[in-house]
């Protein structure tokens, strides 16, 4: 295990947030899976012990410390308003396609074609129905 690394003054360091947020040692074998239910119960000690310097849910999506994103609460509120509006107005159903989820910086759905190949273009076909008022 590496415990320290010497870095010359003035060196630029870059961190892959996608890699930190999907580290299997921290998040477990399903780290690459879209699994929002993982936050419904207590996080495993591997997450809390990792001391990830994020300001939200032990993730670095909004960074942390004095340079953390000042808009992270606004972005959460904005998503809640949009979701609340959509879910109270429409009914959403997945289409008949088989969906494959891939993770490469962003988790994206892809459709499995009838010939067994996976469409390289991300798509999530859905049936959207207006709810009666």
Provide the residue count of the chain. 133
CA distance 1 to 19: 18
pLDDT per position as a tens digit, 19-70: 888 888 888 898 888 887 777 777 778 877 777 766 566 676 777 777 777 8
pLDDT per position as a tens digit, 77-96: 999 999 999 999 999 998 88
Positive/negative CA dihedral, 8, 22, 24, 58: positive
CB 57 within 8 A of CB 73: no
Q: How confident is the model at residue 18 (pLDDT cuts 50, 70, 90)?
A: confident
Dig out the tokens for 127 from the structure: 């049936």
Q: What is the pTM of this model?
A: 0.46
């Amino acid at each position: 295990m590496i415990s320290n690394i010497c870095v010359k003054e003035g060196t630029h360091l870059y961190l892959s947030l996608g890699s930190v947020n999907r580290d299997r040692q921290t998040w477990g074998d399903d780290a690459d899976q879209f699994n929002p239910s993982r936050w419904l119960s207590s996080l495993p000690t591997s997450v809390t012990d990792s001391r990830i310097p994020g300001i939200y849910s032990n993730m670095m999506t909004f960074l942390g410390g004095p340079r953390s994103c000042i808009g992270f609460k606004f972005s959460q509120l904005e998503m809640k308003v949009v979701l609340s509006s959509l879910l109270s107005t429409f009914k959403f159903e997945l289409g008949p396609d088989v969906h494959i989820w891939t993770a490469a910086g962003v988790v994206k759905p892809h459709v499995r074609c009838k010939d067994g190949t996976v469409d390289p273009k991300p798509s999530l076909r859905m049936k959207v129905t207006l709810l009666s008022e």
